[in-house]
Amino acid sequence: MVPEPASRRGGSGARTVCVAKHSQAPGSRLQWGQGSAPLCDGSRLDNALTTALIAVIAALGVCVVVLGALLLSRRSARDADERVAAAVADMNERMDAMLEDLTHALERSEEEGRRGRTLSELAGTIDFDEVLSRTLHTAAALAGVDAALVALHTLGPKPVVATIGLSEQEAEQPQVVGPPDGRPVRSVRIQYEYPDAADSADGAAVHAGLAVPLSGEEGEIGYLTVYARSRTRSFGEEDVFELEELARRAGPAIENAHRFREARQLADLDALTGLHNRRYFHETLQREVARAHRYSRRLALIVFDLDDFKAINDRIGHLAGDAVLAEASDRVRSVVRSADIACRVGGDEFAVILPESTLDDADQLYRRLLEAVSSRPIGGAGRLQISAGIGELRADEDATRFFQRGDEALYRAKEAGKGQVAAANSA
């Protein structure tokens, strides 16, 4: 056994210890005891040889390592290139994924910003139709939504239904309502299943629906519903949360706009007859004249009054005369089209604006009005007749001149006798 050098046993700063050589009997071997030191004689040479041997072995080891590295470097060059290429490809893939995530996050942020602006703008308008339109467009813009519907059940004598993305036939179907016992609900989720033939008939069937209540100051006023046509779309908790947030803002805005609309309608109506009043007539006529000129559309007008009403009023009194006017107005309202605008312009004088109509259309309406008013007696006034002036808008006139021509035609009709009509376009 080669004795371990003292420098290795003693560590840093160790010194060599010389001991006396013991006598040794022939054939005996020198034993190293625990803690014994190497012999002093010849130890330095042994140390030098040992050190040199270690150096040579280390040098050989370094050479082997270098040669091995050279050999491995050649063999691993291709592997290194492949690893670099794989690393670059992985980095590009991660960068693409990060860019895609960033793009989606930006799109979501922009969408949420638009939605937030729309929600804040809901309370900034009092136009009923505009509030409904903004609510529907915001709901339809939610992820995976193809159509939206607002159904209001308690704001008036008739339900109000507004839609976007639904056909007229789809919108006419029964709307989502709460549970049979009437208790309040947070949401209603629907999945529609069809026979194969019905589902593939046009490829546009609605497959899922989600409805949340719309509430105002006085409680629930209706439902806001969204629909999806995708077979794989279903509405989850996140969808409920987003639609609830929209409904929370839209409910009070819809209620306030409806109240304003009712107040405005009351302000536009004549208290006695229930027809539109004089102010509304002139505002509407001006608007319709401008629209007809802008889009090259036809526009007709009837101006009429009750024959000899002053004498009737003097005979039966003003209260009874007011009742006659109210009854005559009801009969007028029963024969005008929904697109026509019937107004009381003063006293016993009335007018009807006929959009998208000609002089012949106005003449036909006069015949119906005359039949409705004179077909049976009205209160103490008996049978009444009406005289009218009718006209069609000319390309070179404004609303004021159009009305004046109709009024002048009315006076010509009255001069001709009772129950007569005169065309403003004739000489």
Q: What pLDDT score was predicted for residue 76?
A: 58
The reply to whether 208 and 291 lie within a common domain is no
- The verdict on residue 336 lying in a domain is yes
The verdict on 417 and 285 lying in the same domain is: yes
Residues 236 and 306 in one domain: no
CB within 8 Å of 351: residues ≥ 6 apart: 281, 301, 302, 303, 304, 342, 343, 345, 403, 406
At 403, which CATH number? 3.30.70.270
Residues 378, 295 share a domain: yes
DSSP assignment string, 206-258: --EEEEEEEEETTEEEEEEEEEE--TT----HHHHHHHHHHHHHHHHHHHHHH
Within a domain: residue 176?
A: yes
Domain range enclosing 245: 128-264
Q: Which residues are identified as catalytic?
A: 348
Based on the fold, state whether residues 251 and 139 are members of the same structural domain. yes
Whether pTM exceeds 0.75: no
Same-domain pairing of 212 and 289: no
Greatest C-alpha distance within the chain = 171
Residues 323 and 259 grouped into a single domain: no
Is residue 17 a part of any domain in this protein? no
* 343 contacts 302 by C-beta, under 8 angstroms: no
Residue among 218, 281, 285, 216 nearest 255 (CA): 216
Q: Are residues 247 and 328 both part of a single domain? A: no
Specify whether 300 is located in the same domain as 181: no
pLDDT given at position 38? 41
Give the domain-ending residue among 231, 264, 297.
Answer: 264
| Residue 353: its H or E element | strand 349-355
The single-letter code of the amino acid at 42 is G
Positions of the chain with pLDDT lower than 50, given as ranges? 1-45, 64, 66, 427
Quote the pLDDT of residue 408: 94
Print burial letters for 39-69: b (CB count within 10 Å at least 16), e (below 16): eeeebeeebeeeeeeeeeeeeeeeeeeeeee
For residue 243, tell me if it sits in a domain.
Answer: yes
42 lies in a domain? no
Nearest to 380 by CA among 333, 304, 325, 420: 325
293 and 220 within one domain: no
**CATH number, position 149:** 3.30.450.40
3-state secondary structure of 190: strand
- Of 237, 264, 291, the residue at which a domain comes to its end is 264
One domain, residues 179 and 243: yes
342 located within any domain: yes
| Residue 133 located in a structural domain | yes
Judgement on whether residues 255 and 369 belong to the same structural domain of the protein: no
> Has residue 346 been placed in a domain?
yes
Polymer length of the chain: 427
Q: Provide the domain count of the chain.
A: 2
Among the three residues 210, 231, 264, which one is the final residue of a domain in this structure?
264
CA distance 413 to 420: 5
3-state helix, strand, coil in the chain (%, to 5): 50, 15, 35
